[in-house]
A and B are shown apart, each in its own frame.
Chain A
Amino acid sequence: EVQLVESGGGLVQPGRSLRLSCSASGFTFDDYAMHWVRQAPGKGLEWVSGISWNGGKIGYADSVKGRFTISRDNAKNSLYLQMNSLRDEDTALYYCAKKGSSWHFDYWGQGTPVTLSS
């Protein structure tokens, strides 16, 4: 059974940093690209970032480019999101998602909440 478990979220002040983690199991992690998708309270889904199976291809949404860094450790079956210079608008539930056979996400974690508050 595929499982994606996010961690690392919490309450943080604007301007500070936070590192999210996603632990994967139930599939061959290094065969698949992985992504982060967020959802602000009461709002829709927003793609944040994605990384290819070996880290060779990385993409970011314009809203986080230059502030967030995605990475993965295939030996640990883990995905990460380093978030710097956090802003109020980064408040959201952050989902880790596994890319399917095409440009879609076939498995999602339950999300880890990030709340910005001064």
Chain B
Amino acid sequence: QSALTQPASVSGSPGQSITISCTGTSSDVGGYNYVSWYQQHPTKAPKVMIYDVSNRPSGVSNRFSGSKSGNTASLTISGLQAEDEADYYCSSYTSSNTLVFGGGTKLTVL
């Protein structure tokens, strides 16, 4: 159950687009369309932004989008806003019938 691999940090200016990658294996990310993305602001509980690779829950801005290619999933945030500054985590269902998270990515809005 090794954690999925995410970049430790990414940054972008307001209005720009950024992409966060999440790399796993064929036993998790590559094997199932059960990748989710969570946003976590300091001292707050995580909030789901994307599920099943590319589905957006009701109420989540359409500036957030998800995709997957092989063993790597990606979260793209377009039209970056100051409020997007947070930690982002990917997660995936695994062949062991468990769930695994990525190590997290700190997004800084410059």
Contact = CB atoms under 8 A, between A and B. Distances in A.
Nearest to B37: A104
A46 to B, nearest CB: 6
Name B's interface SS.
strand
Given A100-B48, A100-B51, A106-B48, A61 B89 contact: no
Interface in B75-110: 87, 89, 91-93, 96-104
B21 to A, nearest CB: 15
Contacts of A57: 97
Interface in B1-18: 1, 3
Interface in A83-118: 95, 100, 102-106, 108-111
A105 B92 CA distance: 11
A38 to B, nearest CB: 10
From A45, A57, A60, name the one whose CB has the most chain B CB atoms within 10 angstroms: A45
A55 to B, nearest CB: 15
Contacts of A95: 45-46
Contact of A35 (B52, B89, B99, B104): B99
A35 B99 CA distance: 10
Given A100-B51, A104-B52, A111-B45, A59 B98 contact: yes
Interface string A10-47: 00000000000000000000000001010000001111
Interface of A: 35, 37, 44-47, 50, 57, 59-63, 95, 100, 102-106, 108-111
